[in-house]
Homo-oligomer: A and B are copies of this chain.
Amino acid sequence: MSAARPSSGVARERSRHASGAKAPDKRRLILDAAVRVFARQGFHACRVSDIADEAGVAYGLVYHYFASKDEVLDTLFLERWHVMLELIREVDSQPLPVREKLEAIASFIIDSYRHDPDLMKVIIVEVTRAANSFGNTHIATIREAYDLIGGMITKAQAEGVFKPEIEERFAAMAFYGAIEQLLTGWIFDLLPQGEADFERAKWLVVETVCGGLETRSEAQAGVGRAAPQRGRGEARA
């Protein structure tokens, strides 16, 4: 009661009373458990008690920290997406070539999956696609990311680096869609997920999309990095 419950906003993991990592932080425990359960069973198919069981707490406690089952998913989405937006904004603010900016974004997303595949699975499968429930709630947030990426592309077009005839919003969607589909491929085991696969994927998505967006002169200039070693049959993580 003394500590304000941030029902949204980036997680402040510790710092209850500024005392440090004293309590096991049940709220975090529940969120992490929810990720695993949502990833395993899907949001709709799981019960609140499943989350509580996974977290090892009584299920009434979930309602102590979250107003509803929905809010748990909302929180997971917003936590991650805010980090994502922050990253995009930071990248955007720096004086880098588009290709590097886009690569930074692709890297961030792919590394996010590499670091916590369950979380990304939940966000992609349960939120991003959930047109009629969560999707609508978070469209504004998602749109912001597209707008930022779109801005980068517009700028690149103004600089003559990208072809001017491709509309920035469409390009931003295509760029993001390509990345997300790679994650989807990993999630559903359609693509191999070795360490090298992740690295190559970053390069690939940038090379493909930027390659297509760049003007001839730019492409000839050979700004693209060399492809990481193409390795097949690597161990999957």
Task: Give the copy number.
Answer: 4
Binary B-proximity of A168-193 (CB < 8 A = 1, otherwise 0): 01110111111111101101111100
A61 at interface (Cβ–Cβ under 8 A)?
Answer: no
Binary B-proximity of A194-229 (CB < 8 A = 1, otherwise 0): 000000110011011111111010011000000100
Q: Give me 12 other A-B pairs in contact (C-beta within 8 A), A128-B129, A177-B181 excluded.
A: A41-B132, A124-B129, A125-B129, A136-B188, A167-B200, A170-B182, A170-B185, A174-B205, A178-B181, A178-B209, A209-B209, A211-B213
In the complex the two chains form, is B173's CB within 8 Å of A190's CB? yes
In the complex the two chains form, is A42's CB within 8 Å of B204's CB? no
| Complex CA–CA separation, A227 to B129 (angstroms) | 30
In the complex the two chains form, is B131's CB within 8 Å of A190's CB? no
In the complex the two chains form, is B132's CB within 8 Å of A129's CB? no
| Cβ contacts under 8 Å, A4 to chain B | none
A146 at interface (Cβ–Cβ under 8 A)?
Answer: yes
Binary B-proximity of A119-139 (CB < 8 A = 1, otherwise 0): 001001110111111011001
In the complex the two chains form, is A174's CB within 8 Å of B166's CB? no
| Cβ contacts under 8 Å, A173 to chain B | 178, 181-182, 184-185, 190-191
State which of B126, B177, B189 has its C-beta within 8 Å of the C-beta of A177.
B177
**In the complex, which residue of chain B has the Cβ closest to the Cβ of A146?**
B190
Q: Is the interface of A mostly helix, strand, loop or mixed?
A: helix
| Nearest CB in chain B: distance from A124 CB, A | 7
A17 at interface (Cβ–Cβ under 8 A)?
Answer: no
State which of B125, B214, B227, B232 has its C-beta within 8 Å of the C-beta of A166.
B227
A3 at interface (Cβ–Cβ under 8 A)?
Answer: no
25 CB-based A-B contacts, threshold 8 Å? A42-B130, A42-B132, A125-B130, A125-B132, A139-B190, A142-B188, A166-B208, A166-B227, A167-B232, A169-B191, A170-B182, A170-B185, A170-B191, A170-B201, A173-B185, A173-B191, A174-B178, A174-B204, A176-B181, A177-B179, A177-B184, A178-B178, A181-B181, A211-B214, A216-B220
